[in-house]
Amino acid sequence: MKKIGIITVQKAPENYGACLQCYALWKFIKNQGHTCELIDLVRPWSPDYLESKRFKEKHPKAQIPFYKRILKSLVDSRKKIPIENKNFQAFNALMDYSDTYYSVDSLYDNPPVYDVYVAGSDQIWNPLMPFINEPYFLTFVPKGKKKISYASSFAVKEIPDGVWPYHPDWLDDYHAISVRETSGVDIVNKYFGKQASIVADPTMLLTKSEWEKLLVLPPIKERYLFVYTLQYNQQIVDKAVCLAKDLGLTVYVVVSSTTGVKPEPKEGVRYIYTAGPKEWLGYIHAAEYVITDSFHGSVFSFLFSRALLTVCTNRKVSERLTTLFESFMLSANLIDIEQFKMLGSLDLSHYSFEAVQIVIDNLRKKSASFLINALK
């Protein structure tokens, strides 16, 4: 048994995919008999974040409205990143964490001690992310300790000039390197002179039955089409309503309460504001169809064998979606927004559930083998 530390996007405020990938990697490592913690590094969008004096900040510290500052002074809010949705708080509490680091500097000054350090998964190496990338390359780790990456994502095809303080030695002392996209293999080789393996997103390390034990099914008896977009997208919702109408389906839409968006009531649409990760999984599991622009919305639709259309709304960061759909030979189910607006039916969303499950099983075996061997 070893003590493992993971650095990833943890306690993400109302980001379903980030929370679930975090849980999956932590849970899989725990299932192997290891002790495992998530390194609790606060990010700039938290009001508790302290700016670095050592690294150049990529994003200003989050600003808190005056009334929230008053409330904050009455409670000990420094024990967790504030998240409005209590279902997220409950889900995040399932996992084990290190002491909280309120700045990148404090992590480097007093890093947690583990036998193995894991970078990943999620877009921790994305140079366009509004946080300092360097800690996610594990450069704070004491010399001589084992470092690996699991499904770390750059999310882009090329590193844009001038946006990243690139250092070619960041991956020099890694024991094993894996990424999530084919373009990530090219970036690791081109910029760091290293070889990387492609592995599945950690959410696919857990089986369908493991996720079914965790999810909470919605109290819904009617047939419905589930819509989830990373940012509320009225165009996608309106088109989904048109596509669902012909099949007699109600449309259920998850809207993050952190965005402040309150869509106008619309016939045939039900808006969900309080779903946590468990409830979000339940909505996908019970849906007849899913429309999403989300990588993890797509992954769980495949895991639960749901008819799926994924709308690509940003080609600049679509590499992980492209790799995912190519691995299932389902590129036709990944469409751009203009193509989506022209659709006349949901026929394109159907695929061979059995064939996809075979691919997922093979990806899981290959990826689990990589991780288990890397942790030895």
Decide if 118 contacts 4 (C-beta within 8 A): yes
Give, in order, the Cα–Cα distances in Å from 153 to each of 78, 185, 202, 248, 355.
29, 10, 12, 39, 26
Dig out the tokens for 35 from the structure: 């002790």
Separation between Cα atoms, residue 146 and residue 4, nearest integer Å: 10
pLDDT for 124 = 95
The residue among 40, 3, 27, 5 whose CA lies nearest residue 117 is 5
pLDDT tens, residue order, the chain (376 aa): 999 999 999 998 789 999 999 999 999 999 999 999 999 999 888 889 999 999 988 865 544 443 333 333 333 333 333 445 789 999 999 999 999 999 999 999 999 999 999 998 889 999 888 899 999 999 999 999 999 999 999 988 888 887 777 788 999 999 999 999 899 999 999 999 999 999 999 999 999 999 999 999 999 999 999 999 998 999 999 999 999 998 999 999 999 766 667 888 889 999 998 899 999 999 999 999 999 999 999 999 999 999 999 999 887 667 889 889 999 999 999 999 999 999 999 999 999 999 999 999 999 999 999 999 999 9
- Sign of the C-alpha dihedral computed for residues 300, 302, 303 and 307 taken in this order: positive
Per-residue model confidence (pLDDT) at position 83:
43
Counting Cα atoms < 13 Å in the Cβ hemisphere of 282 gives: 15
292: number of Cβ within 10 Å: 23
Candidates 82, 24, 358; CA nearest to 202 is: 24
**Global pTM value:** 0.91
Which residues contact residue 359 at a Cβ distance below 8 angstroms, ignoring those fewer than 6 apart? 327, 328
Q: Is there a contact between 228 and 14 (Cβ–Cβ < 8 Å)?
A: no
| The two three-digit tokens of residue 147, written as one number | 């470092």
Report the pLDDT value the prediction gives residue 157, as an integer from 0 to 100. 86
Pairwise CA distance, residues 103 & 112, whole Å: 14
- Convert the pLDDT of each residue in 268-305 to its tens digit: 999 998 899 999 999 999 999 999 999 999 999 999 99
d(C-alpha 131, C-alpha 60), whole Å: 9
| Predicted local confidence at residue 60, as pLDDT | 56
Q: Are strands 269-272 and 334-336 parallel, antiparallel or unpaired?
A: unpaired
Structural contact between residues 370 and 266, judged by C-beta atoms closer than 8 angstroms: no
